[in-house]
Amino acid sequence: MGEKEISQAVIRRMPRYYRYLGELLDAGVERISSNDLSRRMNVTASQIRQDLNNFGGFGQQGYGYNVKYLYEEIGKILGLDQTHNIIVIGAGNLGQALANYVKFEKFGFVIIGLFDINPVLEQKLVRGIRIYMLDELEAFCKENRVDIAALTLPKKKADAVANRLVDNGVHAIWNFAHVDLELLNKDVVVENVHLSDSLMQLSYNIVKNRDD
Amino acid sequence: MGEKEISQAVIRRMPRYYRYLGELLDAGVERISSNDLSRRMNVTASQIRQDLNNFGGFGQQGYGYNVKYLYEEIGKILGLDQTHNIIVIGAGNLGQALANYVKFEKFGFVIIGLFDINPVLEQKLVRGIRIYMLDELEAFCKENRVDIAALTLPKKKADAVANRLVDNGVHAIWNFAHVDLELLNKDVVVENVHLSDSLMQLSYNIVKNRDD
């Protein structure tokens, strides 16, 4: 399918298509033209066609897109037809917020454990999900399939813990630490959520907007 | 300065420069060549020069960049030489996680209040920051300068609350709700943090990595 050449910019837009199609589906819409989808999403129709053509198209001339079919196909492209087990390293507010986010499960992302080093948190439950101590990580990874580790810990500890996770077979990291991870194993997939960066981008646009 | 033409892709990279320069500064590094910065950041030296040239350069031939000067200048570009007052709408785990994040203050982002509709939370404090009831929003916005509102509430309520904020003079929204806001006033700056989208992008890369 030549998927390797698909740019991350295209991939970044796919969840948004998925989101809009899910809303159309919930609203009972069965099919939609690329023009209607375009108006709704505020993206040009040609952009939509181009993006979807990366995966072989899905539309029919004169018919438009079948909403349910396209929703499911994009779901497959995004790997949402499979279950992904997640552990969260760092059971502070952010870690607990992630554990409380039931929405993720709807998309097949299941949080199966949290880890922390604070003994006060030991064996506590967040929405039924247990908090383990970090020294239990190795045993846990042997007994459970862990697909993704979310890092919500201080940046000074992030590299060490990330490499330890990789040693235990975790090959995907959802990084909330305010640092770009330095991983020894380059075969690991990392997705960063740098909240400060996002706030700075907002602040740039505030100042720019004010000056315009 | 022709800042209007600077693409959001460039702006997205600026916080990362700022972060790396901050680390260099903490480490006592006074100057750095674009080649060294390039190696460290895993970006080509020409990309760095191009990005910075959007704002007029900052480097000197044969000298490289003065770390402190560049750090401060990028800070100014990003509006970090000013204080931004933030309110958080939704005082659940995520809202409280944001309020607990002291790091933001270092960059001039000060959370001055949280809002919720759950009466159990009324007048509670998170790291000394008070939780107000949502019906106090209008009065609060009259008495305090609010530069940014962070939305950590269910998507069904996001549009209504966002438009209500805009009516009260808040012109920048940091949106964590799983929806693209539909704002009546187009003069509002929005920065989205769609956690599910980010997780889906990660999951796409996991599946792709596995197939390669």
First to last CA, chain B: 45
Strand partners, A131: A114
Is the minimum CB–CB distance between A4 and chain B shorter than 8 Å? yes
Work out the minimum CA distance from B189 to partner chain A, whole angstroms: 6
Beta pairing class for B65-66 and A148-151: unpaired
Which of A11, A93, A178 lies at the smallest CB-CB distance from B204? A11
Is the minimum CB–CB distance between A208 and chain B shorter than 8 Å? yes
Which of B11, B93, B97 lies at the smallest CB-CB distance from A201? B11
**Average pLDDT of the segment spanning A69-90:** 96
- Residues in chain A closer than 8 A to B82 (CB atoms): 207
Work out the minimum CA distance from A63 to partner chain B, whole angstroms: 27
Yes or no, beta carbons of A15 and B194 under 8 Å apart? yes
Is the minimum CB–CB distance between A80 and chain B shorter than 8 Å? yes
Which of B19, B96, B200 lies at the smallest CB-CB distance from A107? B200
Of the listed ranges B72-86, B159-173, B179-193, the least confidently predicted one is B179-193
Question: What residue ranges of chain B are covered by domains with CATH 3.40.50.720?
Answer: 84-197
pLDDT higher than 50, residue A1: no
Work out the minimum CA distance from A41 to partner chain B, whole angstroms: 9
pLDDT band at B62 (very low <50, low <70, confident <90, very high): confident
pLDDT band at A2 (very low <50, low <70, confident <90, very high): very low
CATH 3.40.50.720 matches B84-197? yes
**Average pLDDT of the segment spanning B172-188:** 90
pLDDT tens per residue across span A177-199:
988 898 888 789 999 999 999 99
Q: What percent of chain A has pLDDT over 90?
A: 71
pLDDT higher than 50, residue A208: yes
CATH 1.10.357.10 matches A3-77? no
A38, exposed or middle or buried, with CB in 10 Å at 0-12, 13-18, 19+? middle
Residues 150-179 of B with CB under 8 A from A: 171-172, 174, 178-179
DSSP structure string for chain B: --GGG--HHHHHHHHHHHHHHHHHHHTT--EE-HHHHHHHHTS-HHHHHHHHHTTT---BTTTBEEHHHHHHHHHHHTTTTS-EEEEEE--SHHHHHHHH-THHHHTTEEEEEEEES-GGGTT-EETTEEEEEGGGHHHHHHHS---EEEE-S-HHHHHHHHHHHHHTT--EEEE-SSS----S-TT-EEEE--HHHHHHHHHHHHHHHHH-
**Average pLDDT of the segment spanning A99-110:** 92
Work out the minimum CA distance from B59 to partner chain A, whole angstroms: 22
Which residues, in sequence order, are CB contacts of A186 under 8 Å at separation 6+?
A: none
Question: What residue ranges of chain B are covered by domains with CATH 1.10.10.10?
Answer: 3-77
Phi, psi torsion values for A203, nearest 5 degrees: -65, -35
**Average pLDDT of the segment spanning B105-129:** 96
Distances (CA, A) of B27 to A66, B35, B200: 56, 18, 36
Is the minimum CB–CB distance between B96 and chain A shorter than 8 Å? yes
Q: What percent of chain A has pLDDT over 70?
A: 98
CA–CA gap between residue A61 and residue A78 (Å, rounded)? 25
Burial code (b: 16+ CB inside 10 Å, e: under 16) for A164-177 equals bbbeeebbbbbbbb
pLDDT higher than 80, residue B42: yes
pLDDT higher than 50, residue B120: yes
